[in-house]
Amino acid sequence: MLGIIATACLYPLQKYIITDHQVKKELLKLEHLEVSSTYAVNEPVETFLLASRLAEISGLSLGQDDSTLLAVQDEEGILFTLDRSNGKVIDELHFGGDEDYEGVEFVGDKTYILTSKGDLRIINRDGETKAKKIKTELKRDDDVEGLGHLSEKNMLLLACKSNRAGRKKNRNVYGFSLSEQVLDTTPYLSLDPDIIAQKLNREKKTPYFSPSAIAVHPTSGEIFVLSSVARSIIVFDKQGNLIAAANLDRGVHLQPEGLALDRDGTMYIANEARGGVAKIYVIGAG
């Protein structure tokens, strides 16, 4: 963390980087995710300061090659291509009108973009500017925020921030078959707040773990789910068992909304600006 503060002080926008929410360094909780790799989730090895038009970054994905990331923000229909070495915008593609865009995932030769209503937009690699739209059975009340790719089963994973089934507190993750272009209405994962709170060593289960992002480790198949409201990350194995959890420090992660993992296991966490500068944190795989 000391390295991150020292790096931030080199920027002229330091006043935006160190905010009132940042806790004293000696109080930072050092949390580690112990899965196929070890992640010190509150100790980024690099920090990318993002352009102002990504202040409300909401989704993050690997790009079509090893040098880029893809990002969306939750107000405008723009697909941003970022340099993976520094987070700089190198391309923008306007694919649709203003809407609440929450997730992005590049698969094969297509880019899938998710709205909070559960709709998917599909952009072909050939650069067409108008995205194809697919409606799923999910609705606005599901508040769909996370989009990941489970290559082993050729499906997208759609993570819901809310549960429209009234009093039920479990949040659900659904699978969308890429071959059949249909959503399985039986949850692929059901996130139990009691089990998650216990795994996080929390006395209270609230705030409930409501997903903001989801990503699949490209080699291990482990499923990482991030929650901004619960400020934590949990990990499931390929069989759907909860195997690890870690708390995200508020002094680092003001509003984490995007998550991606590369082939080496490196983790990228995107944070909205919250009145300052949006960032992508790079978390090394130990």
pLDDT in tens, 1-59: 333 333 333 333 332 333 333 333 434 456 899 999 999 999 999 999 999 999 999 99
Partners of 171 in the β-ladder:
191
pLDDT attached to residue 126: 66
pLDDT band at 128 (very low <50, low <70, confident <90, very high): low
Average pLDDT of the residues in 100-110 = 96
Average pLDDT of the residues in 170-181 = 97
What does the block give as tokens for 69? 């990331």
Is the Cβ–Cβ distance between 113 and 79 less than 8 Å? yes
Average pLDDT of the residues in 78-89 = 97
Burial class from Cβ neighbours inside 10 Å (0-12, 13-18, 19+) for residue 179 reads exposed
Q: Tens digits of per-residue pLDDT, 138-152?
A: 999 999 999 999 999
**H or E stretch covering 234:** strand 232-236
Is the Cβ–Cβ distance between 152 and 138 less than 8 Å? no
Has residue 268 got a pLDDT over 80?
Answer: yes
Q: Which domains are present in the chain? A: 2-283 (2.120.10.30)
> Distance between CA 205 and CA 36 in Å, rounded?
27
What does the block give as tokens for 86? 């520094």
Q: Between 202 and 4, where is the model more confident? A: 202
Is the Cβ–Cβ distance between 175 and 155 less than 8 Å? yes
> Distance between CA 276 and CA 14 in Å, rounded?
10
pLDDT band at 282 (very low <50, low <70, confident <90, very high): very high
Has residue 232 got a pLDDT over 50?
Answer: yes
pLDDT attached to residue 11: 34
Has residue 66 got a pLDDT over 90?
Answer: no
Has residue 251 got a pLDDT over 50?
Answer: yes
pLDDT attached to residue 184: 98
- pTM for the whole structure: 0.89
pLDDT attached to residue 125: 72
Burial 108-126 (b: 16+ CB within 10 A, else e): eeebbbbbbbbbbbbbeee
Has residue 182 got a pLDDT over 60?
Answer: yes
How does DSSP classify residue 44?
Answer: -
Has residue 183 got a pLDDT over 60?
Answer: yes
pLDDT attached to residue 130: 67
